[in-house]
Structure 1
Amino acid sequence: MTKIMPILPLRGLLVFPEMRLHIDVGRDRSVAALEEAMDNDKEILLITQKDVQVDEPTEQDLYSIGTVAYIKQLMKLPNGTLRILVEGLSRAEWSNYTENRKYTEALVKPLISEIEWDVETEALMSIANDYFAKYAKSSSKITAETLAIVKEEENPSKLADMLITHLPFKVAEKQEVLTIINVKKRLDHLIIRMHDELELLEIEKKINARVKEAVERTQKEFYLREQMKAIQQELGSSEGKTGEIAELRKRIEEAGMPEGTHKVAIKELDRYEKLPSASAESGVIRNYIEWLVSVPWSKETKDRLEIDHAEEILNRDHDGLEKVKERIVEYLSVRQMTKSLRGPILCLAGPPGVGKTSLARSVAESLDREFVRASLGGVRDESEIRGHRRTYVGAMPGRIIQGMKKAGTINPVFLLDEIDKMSNDFRGDPSAAMLEVLDPEQNNTFSDHYLEEPYDLSKVLFIATANDLSTIPGPLLDRMEIITISGYTEQEKLAIATNHLLPKQLKEHGLTKSQLIMKEEALMDIIRYYTREAGVRSLERQIATVCRKVTKLIVTGERKRVTINSKMVVELLGKHKFRHGMASDENEVGVATGLAYTTVGGDTLQIEVNITPGKGKMQLTGKLGDVMKESAQAALSFVRSRTDQLQVDKNFFDEHDIHIHVPEGAVPKDGPSAGITMATAITSAITNKAIKREIGMTGEITLRGRVLPIGGLKEKSLSAHRAGLTTIICPKDNERDVDDIPESVRKALTFKFVSTADEVLNLALDGGFSS
């Protein structure tokens, strides 16, 4: 008899007539359907979902035939869900699917099983019982009690439903049995499925027997591997380790390895295939093969050898740096002419913030090459470069091979950042390991401890960066072409700030060019009064500070647009941090301005000398290094040798103490180029003659007063220009270095080239010095 009945959708579950089952119910519509059934005759239609992933099933998500069940018990669990005990009553077909506000209902028509009591039915029941008994004997999942209950069942329909509940069939297969109303057809279907299941169990027995014979010759791990192999052979499957090995073999063939490396890879793959998966060595070999096929062996990008394009990229990204750009263009020109050239090994040396790293990126872009960067700062383990041997736990290749894997090609632009900051300890010297990487005659057969196979680095364009060349070992320095980036002039900084830094910070702070207008005078004030550096890193930070403060003004509604001038700079950044022009306002006695070269560029330093009554002692203060102390001793010896010219008493040096001080005592200072500066300051203090305030000087002094050449004239000239000096005294042998100094700085400075300290004193002392 048909009637309207609430529906309870089931996920991954199916209930047959006369079957009792506990079901947990948590979905709101399902709970409402239960409540509706409990309020009436406690009958509900149980329908299985086609897809268990669907949370809110619709009419199309449910099978067309379900089971009418009686709710025998209902209780509420602590987690809020309901647990019910149901008993299946009959198969049923539903129609008129209706979704009410709280629950779903349908018109249900019970389906009565068609039973024909004849010889065929009894035969089918007997065969079904026999197959089930055989299955129970082969399978450990069927208990003796279950087998006894099944044998005693005389109703063919109930027998069929009982059998299907104990067989390991999927929900879809059980649903198919539920839809078969004719009992004979139902039993026949079950017999066929049990026959197939018995055949599968028989195959499993054969496999187990075959594996049992093999396990007598080896250990348990080998047994598991053989069992898997036998299963795959029986099922014709290529999954598991067999498929993995086939995939690795294919990747080895496609990697384009050299012949020797290819043989090693195949040999290791054969070893991996024979080893049990649970073996520790299996994982090591698998990882090794994975690295061999991941590293590029032959994949190469095509260089874009267009001089105009390269110059456009380099000029777009960088102002100044003419020598670096010229070297890159020269490289491209030679490549274009010869069609082949080993990658040069360039070292961009200069203070922080001058654009060494970004320049390397621009080079990669101009060549259309991949770019990869390895930071070497703080590296003190040789295995960081060459990798670890595979015998170590957690072994892996060094940074060079890791970088090549990341690049994916054999000719990337490879940046070795901060190469001067490598150190060494008991684990080895990484700078010595870098010798092979950066030697054009050796790096075509670079050997990594992990790969243990020669790797060709000759097509890589290596670019190293360094702040201080003095910390790089000589043999390593000899393998690189040094390109010095000294720093920027004020005009170059202004161009960089206008073309690069300001647009970048406007974008990062969400500002437009119309909202923030920064005048040239404001940028120049920031450069002069708020930064003192060779590069532009601090300049960018100060511009970012201005952008932040302007953003706040705009967001709070105080201003809609801001124009930054010199006055506004002071309001936003505070009082001037530095004084533009370090030159003294007047000539002073015993105070000389020296020019120094540091890891952050050129700098000026004041050397002060005081003469006091004493016993001929010399005192040095200002955190001076050994070389600078020796320069002070040499300068004093030279001055003492000029007693007659100084017109002082012969006992003057025995009766007076000399105190030499270099301000900023917390900053370490060292180097020989302060020699003539110290000699001038000592002579000025002794003769009471002032030193010209506009003069800066640099040069090493000997005991006999010769002036020796120094390094870093370009950096020192830039610092002198920043400090407001107008004249530089420097060694005669450094005259050739003037061409490296930017033209704007050369025009603003007067260079005096000297060979002896007497010339220095004549130029520096107010009124001259007669030798």
Structure 2
Amino acid sequence: MGPHKNKARRFPLLPLRGLLVYPSMVLHLDVGRDKSVKALEKAMVDDNLILLCSQSEVNIEEPSPDEIFKIGTIAKVRQMLKLPNGTIRVLVEGLERAEVIEYMDNEEYYEVQARELPEEENNDPEVHALMRTVLTEFEHYINLSKKVTPETMAAVSDIEEPGRLADVITSHLVIKIKDKQHILEAVDIRMRLERLLDILHSEREVLELERKISQRVKKQMEKTQREYYLREQMKAIQKELGEKEGRAGEAEELRQQLAELTVPEKVQEKIEKEIDRLEKTPANSAEGGIIRNYLDWLLSLPWDKRTTDDLDLHHAEQILNEDHYGLDKPKERVLEYLAVQKLVKKLKGPILCLVGPPGVGKTSLARSIAKSLGREFVRISLGGVRDEAEIRGHRRTYVGAMPGRIIQGMRNAGSMNPVFLLDEIDKMASDFRGDPSAALLEVLDPEQNNTFSDHFVEVPFDLSNVMFVTTANSVQSIPRPLLDRMEMLYIPGYTELEKLQIGRQYLLPKQTEEHGLTTEQLEVGEDTLLKVVREYTRESGVRNLEQQIAALCRKAARAIVSDELEKVIITPDDIKDYLGVPKFRYGLVEKENQIGSVTGLAWTEVGGETLTIEVTVVPGSGKLMLTGKLGDVMKESAQAAFSYTRSKAGELDIPTDFYEKNDIHIHIPEGAIPKDGPSAGITIATALISALTGRYVSKEVAMTGEITLRGRVLPIGGLKEKTLAAHRAGYKKILLPQDNERDLKDIPDSIKEELTFVPVATMDQVLEHALVHEATLH
């Protein structure tokens, strides 16, 4: 070993992926990366020597010096061949180990300073002993592993140099690159043999484990085959004895089930035909499972089961009144249906649609209807349903096919005449999977639903005895054809008095019980409840009220448990401590008459609301500004009101050129909330005229109505909801279109007593009631 051998020299470097070359190995490499090709070309130009180092990670396309092992093998390039796909195949021969000292700055390829690490001769007897042990272990490895051929053993046994022996054996092992690198880095021969011995030991253990597992699996397979053979023998014996087994036994069982049912003739034929098909289907066929599933569905439907209606009208009325306060129209409709049933004996089920704001008890009313009739009750929610198959079912050819929700509901009901609630019918969507609302037409049409066809069931199913009840918050989003088939029952929301009674009679006892309290432990007076209704809720229904009552019960329960009180009495003054600062101001009425500010009434899906409309006139060039997130209908109402005011300027003592010299700004506060709908025309006109004439608007007046350019007042909808909103806010006089006078019969007497209703037909009448002269200001 001369000193020149240990000197650092420059080498082009070729990083290897998932591969490692030892000294004295000859093998082919495929080189495709640009840097690697350039390194090869450099080697060919110089002395055919190249340094081969492995990458620590296989996936990296351009490894950094940190991602390439420091110790590799100097190799001689023997042959180069360009392949058609652009890669180069090279034949390399490993010469000896080398260690990278530093990387050169070379953009084109990896170039390094490397120091050769030559083999040291070691004739120590211990090394020879290690060699023998390694050979013995390798022989065991070959016997256990199927990946190394026995001929390899013969080739390896002839090697006399211990270092080379370790290298050759490692190259034949199927182990990780990191382990192979570990051997390459062991320059000391004794250490190299010891490391190899460790690897061989652990590999042998793994292989022995693998062998044990495969033997166990083989035994299990033999057992399964044996069982199959015995089963086949058993079948043959049963056949000889005349016993029925397998599909035949299954078919017999299904026929027995069919015999116990009374089904329509067509259905009977269909089921018999399917049972025959099932019998002929091989035991392990997938088709058999599909037929079996279909038969299970057909046999589990309530073809002949009906519940008997409880036709005692007084009993039914009592149940409806026990569960719900008010709601006279829906209750009346149910009792009428019962009376007709009693006379006719067979009546097609009505299809009712309960329309009203959230929290008024639509869903629970449907449950009470079922209870009062003595029928089964099924509820499905249509909110967000957008797939036609949800209603109609899938065809049986699809994997995982199922009947639609209607048939599933009928199976759950277990009778042909349940009360079937389709909740949130206005929340259905439609997309590329079809239109579920169109699929519902057949279900909700009394002329068609006696032969409802589900894609999965395939035979007509009679839904004509079902009493369908649907619920919706607004009618606008229900498709017209569907709306046409249903009978609308509007639940407009509750008055303050009704809310108070509901809270006292229903919600408070229910929540007290749910929170583990008794009436002796918690006392909430009527005046306390009224304060909760007025200052902590502003809604048409009573859901929010129930939440507030639940909060009172929770706080009371805590006081009883932690402070060990016997009884909690909540007075109106205590409410702040229990529910915090009031969320709403009861009675929003202005303290004084205002100029250019008028209260309008609006209808929303969640009930009625009051809207303040403000108008201000400032010097300008005749611009009309509208703000407050108004929809198109509102904007058009404002334009109409503006045009009406211009046309009547002379009569109203307004300068006729007011629109040329002034800018008019119409604003509806709460700019974040979208506002739309035809009912604010007269309100905007009144505010505009008030602002232009400087006359005050009566603080006690609220109004609703649409305006024409001639100043006529057009009718509007949702009068009851709007009236309740005005009453909640504390207004005393309501101006309404004359054509809406007929709707006053729907308004509870308790409200009529507290409010004055003024029907108006023209804008002049509106102004007469709404505007006050300055003299009468105070």
TM-score, normalised on structure 1? 0.70
Match runs of 1:476-625 below 5 Å? 476-625=482-631
Q: Tell me the secondary structure at the aligned position of residue 469 of structure 1.
A: coil
Measure how far apart 1:664 and its partner are.
1.3
1:227, distance to aligned residue in structure 2 (A): 6.5
The reply on whether 1:730 has 2:736 as its aligned counterpart is yes
Matching residue of 1:375: 381
Q: Which residue is equivalent to 1:456?
A: 462
2:309 to 283, 303, 306: 303
SS at structure 2 position matched to 1:377: coil
1:218-257 aligned within 5 A: 229-234=235-240, 237-257=243-263
Work out the CA distance in 2 between the residues paired with 1:347 and 1:228.
61
* Aligned residue in 1 for 2:300: 294
Quick one: which amino acid aligns to residue 451 of structure 1? V
In structure 2, what is the Cα distance between the partners aligned to 1:236 and 1:567? 87
Asked if the contact 1:699–1:709 (Cα under 8 Å) also holds between the matched residues in 2, the reply is yes
Match of 2:399 in 1: 393
Residue 771 of structure 2 corresponds to which residue in structure 1? 765
1:342 aligns with 2:348: yes
The amino acid across from 1:627 in the alignment is: V
**Aligned residue number for residue 452 of structure 2:** 446
Query: Does the 8 A contact of 1:762 with 1:768 survive in 2?
Result: no
Q: 1:655 aligns with which of 648, 652, 661?
A: 661
Tell me the amino acid that sits aligned with residue 609 of structure 1: V
Report if the CA contact (8 A) 2:356-2:491 is conserved: yes
Do the aligned residues in 2 keep the contact of 1:699 with 1:730 (CA within 8 Å)? Answer: yes
For residues 695 and 228 of structure 1, what CA distance do their matches in structure 2 show?
93
State the distance in 1 between where 2:774 and 2:393 align. Answer: 64
1:639 aligned to which of 633, 640, 645: 645
- Find the counterpart in structure 2 of residue 355 from structure 1: 361
Q: Distance in 2 between matches of 1:615 and 1:558?
A: 72
Supply the distance in 1 between the matched residues of 2:477 and 2:410 (Cα, whole angstroms): 27
- Superposed displacement of residue 469, structure 1: 0.7
Which residue does the alignment assign to 1:432?
A: 438
For the residue of structure 1 that corresponds to 2:504, the secondary structure is: helix
Question: SS in structure 2 opposite 1:288?
Answer: helix
Q: Percent identity?
A: 62
- CA distance, structure 2, for counterparts of residue 580 and residue 598 of structure 1: 20
| Distance (whole Å) between structure 2 residues aligned to residue 239 and residue 276 of structure 1 | 12
CA pair 245-651 structure 1, distance change in 2 beyond 3 A: same
- 1:225-260, CA deviations, whole angstroms, 9 ceiling, x for partnerless residues? x87753432455445333222121222233322111
1:512–1:649 Cα change, 3 Å: same
* Counterpart residue identity of residue 420, structure 1: D
1:698 is displaced (CA, Å) by 0.7
SS at match of 2:379: strand
Q: Which moved more, 1:254-263 or 1:699-708?
A: 254-263
Secondary structure at the counterpart of residue 772 of structure 2: coil
Distance 1:231 1:314 in 2: 65
| CA-to-aligned-CA distance 1:638-677 (integer Å, 9 cap, x gap) | 1111111222223210221111111111111110111111
Q: State the partner residue of 2:319.
A: 313
- Is 1:384 matched up with 2:390? yes
How many residues end up aligned between the 2 structures? Answer: 550
Asked whether the equivalents of residues 526 and 542 of structure 1 are also in contact (C-alpha less than 8 Å), the reply is yes
Q: 2:609, 2:726 within 8 Å by CA — same for their partners in 1?
A: yes
Instruction: Determine the C-alpha separation between the residues in 2 that align with 1:691 and 1:277.
Output: 86
1:610 corresponds to which letter in structure 2? T
Runs ≥4 residues deviating over 6 A: none
Flag structure 1 segments of 5+ consecutive residues without an equivalent.
1-203, 212-223
Aligned equivalents of 1:421, 1:658: Cα separation in 2 = 40
Question: Secondary structure in 2 aligned to 1:534?
Answer: coil
Matched position secondary structure for 1:471: coil
Which residue of structure 1 aligns with residue 423 of structure 2?
Answer: 417
Q: Name whichever of 701-710 and 649-658 sits farther off.
A: 649-658
8 Å contact 1:353–1:537 — kept in the other structure? Answer: yes
> Which range is displaced more, 369-378 or 558-567?
558-567
Q: Is 1:697 the equivalent of 2:707?
A: no
Query: Which residue in the other structure is 2:18 paired with?
Result: none
Offset at 1:617?
A: 1.4
Is 2:311–2:373's contact at 8 Å kept on the other side of the alignment? yes
Aligned equivalents of 1:475 and 1:302: distance in 2? 32
C-alpha displacement at 1:270, in angstroms? Answer: 1.2
User: How many angstroms does 1:278 deviate by?
Assistant: 2.3
Q: What does the per-residue CA deviation read over 1:193-250, in whole Å, with 9 as the maximum and x for residues that have no partner?
A: xxxxxxxxxxx99x98xx9xxxxxxxxxxxx9x8775343245544533322212122
- 8 Å CA contact 2:696–2:774 kept in 1: the answer is no
Question: Any idea what SS the aligned residue of 2:651 has?
Answer: helix
**Map of 1:112-261 to 2, 5 A cutoff?**
229-234=235-240, 237-261=243-267
The one-letter amino acid paired with 2:411 is K
**Where in structure 2 are there 5+ consecutive unaligned residues?**
1-225
Q: TM-score, normalised by structure 2?
A: 0.69
Per-residue CA distance 1:64-118 (angstroms, 9 max, x = gap) = xxxxxxxxxxxxxxxxxxxxxxxxxxxxxxxxxxxxxxxxxxxxxxxxxxxxxxx
* Structure 2: distance between partners of 1:654 and 1:239: 98
For residue 283 of structure 1, report the CA deviation from its aligned partner: 1.5
Distance in 2 (CA, whole Å) between partners of 1:639 and 1:262 is 75
What is the SS of the residue equivalent to 1:643?
coil
Q: Which amino acid aligns with 1:257?
A: V
Alpha-carbon distance in 2 for matches of 1:263, 1:761: 76
**Residue identity opposite 2:511 in structure 1:** Q
Q: 1:761, 1:768 within 8 Å by CA — same for their partners in 2?
A: no
Distance 1:458 1:644, change over 3 A: same
SS in 2 for 1:420: helix
Give the Å deviation of 1:570. Answer: 1.4
AA aligned opposite 1:281: E
Residue 125 (structure 2) aligns with: none
Q: Does 1:282 align with 2:303?
A: no
Q: 1:746 is matched by which residue type in structure 2? A: K
3-state SS, counterpart of residue 739 of structure 1: helix
The answer as to whether partners of 2:598 and 2:613 remain within 8 angstroms in 1 is yes
Residues in 1 aligned to 2:668 and 2:285: alpha-carbon distance in whole angstroms: 68
**Other structure's SS at 1:644 match:** coil
Distance 1:239 1:274, change over 3 A: closer
Measured in 1, the distance between the counterparts of 2:774 and 2:296 equals: 76
- Counterpart code for 1:596: A
Higher mean alpha-carbon deviation, 272-281 vs 374-383, is at 272-281
**Residues 228/482 of structure 1: CA separation in 2 closer, same or farther (3 Å cut):** farther
User: Which of residues 327, 332, 337 is equivalent to 1:326?
Assistant: 332
C-alpha distance in 2 between matches for 1:408 and 1:655: 76
User: Contact 1:416–1:463 (CA<8 Å) still a contact in 2?
Assistant: yes
Deviation for aligned residue 1:273:
1.4
